[in-house]
Amino acid sequence: MKSQHLLLFLFVICTTTLSAQADKKLLIEPLTGNFYVYTTYNTYQESKVRANGVYLVTKKGVVLFDTPWDTTQFQPLLDSIYSRHQKKVIMAFATHWHSDKTAGLAYYKQLGIKTYTTQFTDELSKKNNAKRASFLMTKDTSFVVDQCQFETYYPGEGHTQDNIVIWFPKEKILLGGCLMKGAKDKNLGFLGDGNTNEYANTLLKVQQKYSNPKFIITTHSDWRDINSLKNSIKLAKQLAPSSKELRHVVLFGWKANANKDSIEIAIKAFGELPKQIKTIKNYEWGENNSPEKLNQGLTHCFVLTFSSEKDRDDYLVHPTHIAFTKLLPNILDKVTVLDYWINK
């Protein structure tokens, strides 16, 4: 009986703790040494989404990296930091122009806190009516605050045009921000302001420059798994357009008694397929004029280009393609189809 009461007690305690964490608006967790990860929350597409930031405690004061996404937590974060460490925030950085990074810049600036972004971020913030910083970095910059060193690095476009990362060399902490997603994430999140063509190259530059981080802090994911950069590169490579092209070659030979008007209708219908089937990247056709006379009765060639075998397979079963093939039985004498990946 006592064991049942104990289990019930533990269940209630556990449930209460989880519920309290879920309702909490501000969470602060130790990272390593004088570094802490703080988390606020906001709603995106009807779901509660976390936003992680980092702060560093020095003898001179606290340095904040990215501001709270939740606008109600600007002051509570300052109060919590002072309560824990008896230190005031003296500097605040934002790693790109989106509000999950910059929302608190104006609030902190009016309190006398030095706020920093890159000049590129400031230009985009001005253009998009986002909050702006007092001090602008025109290039990758190193800082030393009470013997604590860190550096900013712009690797190129990815999540946004202006996203930077911040590196702490002594502790080997990489603040990846929104440029990186968690080790178990299945996608790279919002890409409306990003560059999907360059995303993978940008992440590879980060990996090459900072090859052995001990901690990688991502914004919207669990930051405890060090494989977040590796997974982000994998996801980004899937975004880049493939340079491979699949050719689908169709050769027709018509029946001797085939009606010319019916042949013209079929050729025209073939040419309409790319307008209705989006997986067709390119289409061209032509009539045989080879002097070698080796075409064996095949007179018309149609070449379609696809990005993948799946795109080709989707085309073959597309209702519009099926409807087109029903124009052929009474006029088609022979057909040859050849598919190949191009080699450049």
pLDDT digits 0-9 by tens, 207-222: 999 999 999 999 999 9
% of the chain exceeding 90 in pLDDT: 86
Mean pLDDT computed over 293-302? 96
Q: What is the pLDDT at residue 23?
A: 63
pTM, to two decimals:
0.67
287, 229 Cβ separation under 8 angstroms: no
Label residue 8 by pLDDT band (50, 70, 90). Answer: very low
pLDDT over 90 (residue 50): yes
The pLDDT assigned to 91 comes to: 98
Q: What is the pLDDT of residues 115-144, one digit of tens each?
A: 999 999 999 999 999 999 999 999 999 999
Q: What's the whole-number mean pLDDT along residues 30-38?
A: 98
6-20, 111-125, 190-204, range with the lowest pLDDT: 6-20
Of 250-254, 299-303, 307-311, 323-327, least confident by mean pLDDT is: 307-311
Mean pLDDT of the region 173-200: 94
Inform me whether the pLDDT recorded for 344 exceeds 80: no
Residues across the chain = 344
Confidence bin at 197 (pLDDT 50/70/90): confident
Handedness of CA 20, 23, 28, 31 (dihedral sign): positive
Is the pLDDT score of 175 beyond 50?
yes
Q: Name the more confident of 19 and 170.
A: 170
CB 110 within 8 A of CB 99: no
- Tell me the pLDDT tens digit for each residue of 81-107: 999 999 999 999 999 999 999 999 999
Query: For the residues 154-177, what does the mean pLDDT come to?
Result: 97
* Average pLDDT, rounded, for the chain: 92
d(CA 224, CA 242): 32
CB-side neighbour CA atoms (13 Å) of 75: 3
Q: 242 falls in which pLDDT band (50, 70, 90)?
A: low
Mean pLDDT of 234-260: 90
The answer to whether residue 160 scores a pLDDT higher than 80 is: yes
In this prediction, residue 5 carries a pLDDT of: 45
3 state SS of 251 = strand
Q: Can you list the domains of the chain with their CATH numbers?
A: 24-239 (3.60.15.10), 246-341 (3.30.70.100)
Task: Give SS3 for 80.
Answer: helix
d(CA 285, CA 164): 48
Is the model more confident about 35 or about 10?
A: 35
Q: Write down the pLDDT at residue 169.
A: 98
Mean pLDDT of 326-337: 96
Three-state DSSP at 331 gives coil
Tell me the average pLDDT across 2-11: 41
pLDDT at residue number 46: 81
Is the pLDDT reported for residue 18 higher than 60? no
Left if phi > 0, otherwise alpha if psi is -120 to 50, otherwise beta: which for 192? alpha
Query: What's residue 20's pLDDT?
Result: 40
Q: Does the structure show a pLDDT above 60 at 296?
A: yes
The 10 Å Cβ neighbour count of residue 317 is 8
Which residues have a Cβ under 8 Å from the Cβ of 85 and sit 6 or more positions away?
57, 62
Buried b (16+ CB within 10 A) or exposed e, 174-196: bbbbbbbbbbebeebeeeebbbe
What is the pLDDT, as a whole number, of residue 10?
A: 38
